[in-house]
């Protein structure tokens, strides 16, 4: 440890140079460049969907497609606005989002708990992993008749199907993330005297977090798929019921509105996880400056 007299004898720090004092003025330019880059990214991402919509509208205008079976985007937008202003879309969307939220609240913690238990403990792996590997190969769509028999045709069976579907990607990625933590990091932490709880909190969890977030992204996507299947097969409310009623009356534009809503739900969920990744994984080089 350096002596106090040595520290007190050091010359005072030099005043900031003009270059150092000028650094804050570069921040607005850096922010503008990041904003420009972000706009460019958004424009490139939107270019293909917009081009597809334009070609679709043009094909309908030129009578190249059967507009009864595939109405143009303008008619789909008109149907969307009519459903929105009448309140039918918001009511159905609220019901569907509630089902997804409850299913995620049930399924994600179960997948995390099982993944942590199997990843951290040898006994947990022996008790849990084989069963989970066997169950994850069962298509959750095939369980719909069984869930209806057990739980009825109400919301409980739909929520159970969503929870069942999202459990496995969370479990698999949590388990793989924990087992994939670099053994050298664990050994170094033990050398520095970290206890088991500190080791898990400071080494294992940060190392497994990228894989866990990937599992959460898959889970959100599967939750929408499970919702679509459960509401299409047996539902009297929600987006699926709206689509089923429209199919019976050959309202193809309303069916397309439901498909668009489902896809937007998946896109929003993926975007939320990306934001969460940027905040939780800011220490990774790939997320710096994002």
Predicted local distance difference test score (pLDDT) of residue 276: 84
Domain count, the chain: 1
What's the pLDDT tens digit per position in 4-25? 443 344 444 444 444 444 444 4
Predicted local distance difference test score (pLDDT) of residue 284: 63
> Is residue 120 included in any domain, yes or no?
yes
Predicted local distance difference test score (pLDDT) of residue 173: 93
> Is residue 227 included in any domain, yes or no?
yes
Q: pLDDT band for position 275 (50/70/90)?
A: confident
Q: pLDDT band for position 175 (50/70/90)?
A: very high
> Is residue 44 included in any domain, yes or no?
no
Determine the Cα–Cα distance for residues 62 and 161; give it in Å rounded to an integer.
44
> Is residue 36 included in any domain, yes or no?
no
Domain span at residue 197?
A: 79-287
Determine the Cα–Cα distance for residues 157 and 67; give it in Å rounded to an integer.
37
Predicted local distance difference test score (pLDDT) of residue 166: 92
> Is residue 235 included in any domain, yes or no?
yes
Q: What is the dihedral of CA 44, 48, 54, 57, to 10 degrees?
A: -150
Q: How many residues appear in the chain?
A: 290
Picking from 233, 238, 235, the residue whose alpha carbon sits closest to that of residue 265 is 238
Residues 210, 176 contacting (CB under 8 angstroms): no
Picking from 69, 78, 76, 36, the residue whose alpha carbon sits closest to that of residue 52 is 76
DSSP-derived secondary structure for 53-117: HHHHHHHHHTT-S-TTTS--HHHHHHHHHHHHHHTHHHHHHHHHHHHHHHHHHHHHHHHHHHHHH
> Is residue 18 included in any domain, yes or no?
no
Predicted local distance difference test score (pLDDT) of residue 277: 81
Q: Which residue has the higher pLDDT, 7 or 204?
A: 204
**Span 88-114, average pLDDT:** 93
**Span 78-98, average pLDDT:** 92
> Is residue 259 included in any domain, yes or no?
yes
What's the pLDDT tens digit per position in 112-154? 999 999 988 889 888 999 999 888 888 877 888 888 888 888 8
- pTM higher than 0.85: no
Determine the Cα–Cα distance for residues 176 and 244; give it in Å rounded to an integer.
39
> Is residue 35 included in any domain, yes or no?
no
Residue 102 has pLDDT above 60, yes or no: yes
Helix (H, G, I), strand (E, B) or coil at 194: coil
Residue 167 sits in a domain whose CATH number is 1.10.3720.10
């Amino acid at each position: 440890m350096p002596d106090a007299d040595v520290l007190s004898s050091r010359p005072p720090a030099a005043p900031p140079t003009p270059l150092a004092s000028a650094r804050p003025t570069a921040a607005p330019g850096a922010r503008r460049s990041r904003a420009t880059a972000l706009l460019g990214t958004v424009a490139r991402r939107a270019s293909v969907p917009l081009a597809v919509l334009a070609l679709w509208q043009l094909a309908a205008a030129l009578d190249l497609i059967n507009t009864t079976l595939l109405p143009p985007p303008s008619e789909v937008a008109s149907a969307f606005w009519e459903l929105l202003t009448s309140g039918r879309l918001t009511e159905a969307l609220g019901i569907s989002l509630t089902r997804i939220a409850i299913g995620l609240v049930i399924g994600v913690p179960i997948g995390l708990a099982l993944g942590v238990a199997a990843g951290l403990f040898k006994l947990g792996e022996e008790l849990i992993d084989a069963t989970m590997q066997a169950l994850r190969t069962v298509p959750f769509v095939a369980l719909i008749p069984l869930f209806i028999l057990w739980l009825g045709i109400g919301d409980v069976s739909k929520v159970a199907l969503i929870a069942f579907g999202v459990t496995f990607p969370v479990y698999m990625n949590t388990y793989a993330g924990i087992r994939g933590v670099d053994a050298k990091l664990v050994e170094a932490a033990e050398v520095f005297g970290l206890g088991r709880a500190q080791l898990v909190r400071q080494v294992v969890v940060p190392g497994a977090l990228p894989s866990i977030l990937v599992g959460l992204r898959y889970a959100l996507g599967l939750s929408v798929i499970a919702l679509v299947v459960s509401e299409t097969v047996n539902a009297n409310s929600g987006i699926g019921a709206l689509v089923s009623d429209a199919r019976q009356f050959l309202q193809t534009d309303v069916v397309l509105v439901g498909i668009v809503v489902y896809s937007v739900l998946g896109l929003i969920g993926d975007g939320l996880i990306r934001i969460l990744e940027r905040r939780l994984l800011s220490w990774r080089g790939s997320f710096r400056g994002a």
